[in-house]
Amino acid sequence: MRKLILLMTTCLLAAAVVAGAQRSSGPADGPRLVIETVKGVITIRLFQADAPKTVEQILSLAKRNFYRGQRFHRVERTLVQFGDPVSRDVSRRDWWGRSGSGNIIGVAEFSKRSHVRGTVSMAHSGNPANADSQMFILKTAVPAYNGKHVIVGQVASGMDVVDQLAVGDVLKQVRIE
């Protein structure tokens, strides 16, 4: 019986730690990025206080409908990725994931947040300051990404949609709320 109680206490503590890691340390009413996909809707709470220049880049691109019609070009066990305008062209699938908006952010705005399930971070090809428009959503925790990829938000709703996504699924609309 003691082992069962100890196991249950350990599980509850672990759940509390994960929940605490996913809570915002900033304002709860920051901008939200709403992504309508062919599989459903994903809502992302953006961490503007943590990464102001990076979030501003994302908001600017969303306002210009940059993400509309793109496809999820990378889907792995741990993440899904989008943000390459070339992904609109199915005939260029071999090139998906290699381009962006052409406007690098120029700074890596790291925070104390951790890469847990539902974290949204900027993708890059080796230098986090060279991130542009590509983002990924984590399906599992990846602590190795801490300090290597700028965290810009957290999925507020729609993780069930994220879990269903496949390479080539379309982003029908991306809007800000």
Question: How many domains does the structure of the chain reveal?
Answer: 1
Residue 137: both structure tokens together = 């959503």
Q: Is residue 7 part of a domain?
A: no
Q: Is residue 18 part of a domain?
A: no
The whole-number pLDDT of residue 8 equals 41
Determine contact, residues 136/128, Cβ cutoff 8 Å: no
Q: Is residue 117 part of a domain?
A: yes
Q: Report, as ranges of residue numbers, the positions in the chain whose pLDDT lies below 70.
A: 1-29, 92-93, 95-104
Q: Is residue 35 part of a domain?
A: yes
Determine contact, residues 151/127, Cβ cutoff 8 Å: no
Residue 20: both structure tokens together = 């605490």
The H or E element containing residue 94 is: none
Q: Say what the alpha-carbon torsion angle 34, 27, 80, 123 is, to the nearest 10 degrees.
A: 110
Give the residue numbers spanning the domain of 42.
27-176
The H or E element containing residue 132 is: none
Q: Which of 157, 154, 118, 117 is nearest to 24 (CA)?
A: 154
Q: Is residue 99 part of a domain?
A: yes
Q: Is residue 43 part of a domain?
A: yes
Q: Is residue 157 part of a domain?
A: yes
pLDDT tens for residues 79-106? 999 999 988 777 766 765 555 655 667 7
Distance of CA 59 to the CA centre of its chain: 14
The CATH number assigned to the domain holding 170 equals 2.40.100.10
The whole-number pLDDT of residue 99 equals 59
Q: Is residue 1 part of a domain?
A: no
Q: Which of 26, 123, 110 is nearest to 72 (CA)?
A: 123
